Amino acid sequence: MKTLPAIHPYISRQLDGGKDLLSEADRLAAELAAVMQNIHGMTWRVHIQHSDAAAFALVAPSVESLGASV
């Protein structure tokens, strides 16, 4: 059975450096969501995915906001 390390190597490396880069990514994505709200209105949600194959941040209108704008 294949086991995965408890902490992804990139996460471990950034923690060893004393910087909380994950929190910084969360903060920046939340800031982008706030800017999108100022531009377009509605409430925006954030989803950040970290994996070996890809990493991305998604900022999209919340489901509740989509229903209200239709």
Taking the C-alpha atoms of residue 51 and residue 56, their distance in angstroms, rounded to an integer, is: 9
| Residue 65 pLDDT exceeds 90 | no
Is pTM, for the whole model, over 0.85?
A: no
Tokens matching residue 29: 């994505």
**DSSP labels, the chain:** -----SS-HHHHHHHHTT--HHHHHHHHHHHHHHHHHHHH-S-EEEEEEE-SS-EEEEEEE-HHHHHHH-
Residue 8 backbone phi and psi in degrees, to 5: -55, 140
Rg of the Cα atoms in the chain: 16
pLDDT of residue 1: 60
pLDDT in tens, 3-59: 655 666 666 666 666 567 788 889 999 999 999 999 999 999 999 998 778 889 999
